[in-house]
Amino acid sequence: MTALLEVEGLTIRLPGPQGPVTIVEDVDFAVQEGQVFGIAGESGSGKTMTALALLRLLPPRAQLTGRIVFKGRDLVPLGSGALREVRGQQISMVFQDPMTSLHPMLSIGRILTDVYRTHSGAGKRDARQRAVEMLEAVRIPDPQSALDSFPHQFSGGMRQRIAIAAALICGPELLIADEPTTALDVTVQAGVIALLDQLREDTGMSVILITHDLGVMSSTADELTVMYAGRIVESGTTRRVLQEPRHPYTSGLLGALPHPERTDQPLVPIPGSPPAAHELPSGCAFNPRCGLAVDSCRVERPALVTLSDGRAACPVAVAPAAVKAGQ
Ligand SMILES: Nc1ncnc2c1ncn2[C@@H]1O[C@H](COP(=O)(O)OP(=O)(O)OP(=O)(O)O)[C@@H](O)[C@H]1O
Ligand SMILES: [Mg+2]
């Protein structure tokens, strides 16, 4: 089976005061049809930049290398005309901040019908009908009058639903949802996630779900990739990654997560904070925060190794005995 999306060696550099800074490095992953593919990691790990690269929406001075193969076609060399056809229609995105994707001066009707008409060539009346259907699908009450309202007239949770409607109106095959629930309170969060899952089931689209919330991941994502400092450190089925993490960073994220059944256990945050992209430590980027780090971790950057049940970039956690024997 060929994947819907195959990303190979994705590397993003941005200009910095002392020369280009590598923000995302050598990222490889594949998303299958109908799959929810999760990307997790702390703030600054490169999740949004990776997502923006897939739609070729990086800042203008960014350098992008690698391959982004969508339905057999590499998107990296495409020109702006061909990209416009891909964006919205085949791949669309719910942005991290719904206020930035919903233009404050445009009515919800304009936001939804403009994108639909551009891509489908539909007339005004048909586009409005389609917009009403989309608002119904994301459970906005009274869709007809919502079309004549403006983004600020809705709550954060409703704006996020409208952003999802705008992303789905052209029937994309791949939806990228970047922290779709982070700004929302817990009950609204659950509703938005359930809605995404339902829409995926109804349409058969694939979803790349970006969130640092591993609780949301565990209930939604089929596969999970964990990023740290711009690189993938672990990937596998969500169940395996969360139950038997193979990288100390993933274990650290899990240790910091509140557990409803084990309220007596203290939460253990990962010490320190992630490094800035222009000052990565030598060796493994996680080594200054890692309880398992040995001398070699400070020298050599571990490769992302393919295991029987996923990938991990930590020879110490994956095979401590082998590493010790080699020392
Ligand atoms: N427009 C930009 N110009 C320069 N550097 C940027 C820009 N946007 C992001 N970065 C840097 O790129 C790195 C990755 O950022 P990115 O937004 O992808 O992180 P993220 O994993 O999405 O974090 P968060 O969880 O906070 O959304 C960070 O070091 C960030 O400082
Ligand atoms: Mg982000």
Q: Encode pLDDT of 149-186 as tens digits.
A: 999 999 888 898 899 999 999 999 999 999 988 777 77
Compute the distance from residue 48 Cα to the ligand 1 centre, in Å.
7
Question: Does ligand 1 come within 6 angstroms of the Cβ of 248?
Answer: no
User: Is 70 exceeded by the pLDDT of residue 321?
Assistant: no
Two tokens, residue 88: 């919205």
What are the residues whose beta carbons fall under 8 Å from the beta carbon of 206, sequence distance 6 or more?
A: 4, 5, 31, 32, 33, 34, 35, 36, 37, 173, 174, 175, 200
Distance 60 CA to ligand 1 centre (A): 15
| 274 C-beta closer than 6 A to ligand 1 | no
CB 74 within 8 A of CB 10: no
Domains annotated on the chain, with CATH = 5-90+173-186+202-282 (3.40.50.300), 101-171 (no CATH)
Q: What is the mean pLDDT of the chain?
A: 91
Q: Which two tokens stand for residue 218?
A: 């565990």
Report the alpha-carbon distance of residue 174 to residue 36 in Å, rounded.
Answer: 10
Query: What is the separation of C-alpha 113 from the centre of its chain, rounded to a whole number of angstroms?
Result: 26
* Pairwise CA distance, residues 68 & 278, whole Å: 25
Task: State which of 10, 14, 21, 23 you would mutate to test the pocket of ligand 1, scoring each by most atoms of that ligand within 8 A of its C-beta.
Answer: 23
Which residues neighbour 104 within 8 Å (Cβ) at sequence distance 6 or greater?
Answer: 150, 151, 152
Contacts of 171 (CB under 8 A, 6+ apart): 89, 203, 205
Residues 188-233 have pLDDT tens digits of 788 888 888 888 999 999 999 999 888 889 989 999 999 999 999 9
Structure tokens at 65: 């290398």
Q: Is the CB of 233 under 6 A from ligand 1?
A: no
Residue 59 beta carbon below 6 angstroms from any ligand 1 atom: yes
**In the chain, % of residues over pLDDT 90:** 73
pLDDT reading at 112 higher than 80: yes
**Could you tell me whether strands 174-178 and 91-94 are parallel, antiparallel, or unpaired per DSSP bridges?**
parallel
Cα dihedral 103, 106, 108, 113 sign: negative
Nearest to 298 by CA among 286, 315, 313, 311: 286
Instruction: Tell me the C-alpha distance between 325 and 316, whole Å.
Output: 11
Confidence label for 1 from pLDDT (cuts 50, 70 and 90): low
Using alpha carbons, select from 35, 91, 41 the residue that is nearest to residue 237. 35
Between CA 35 and CA 209 the distance in angstroms is 10
Residue-wise pLDDT tens digits, 66-86: 999 999 999 999 999 999 889
* pLDDT above 60: residue 310: yes
* Long-range pairs, 119-122, Cβ under 8 A, ≥24: 119/85, 119/88, 119/89, 119/170, 120/170
Residue 97 pLDDT more than 90?
no
pLDDT computed for residue 257 by the predictor: 81
Q: Which of the ligands is closest to the CA of residue 212?
A: 1
Q: At what angle do helices 156-168 and 108-120 cross, to 10 degrees?
A: 10
Residue 49 Cα to ligand 1 middle (Å): 6
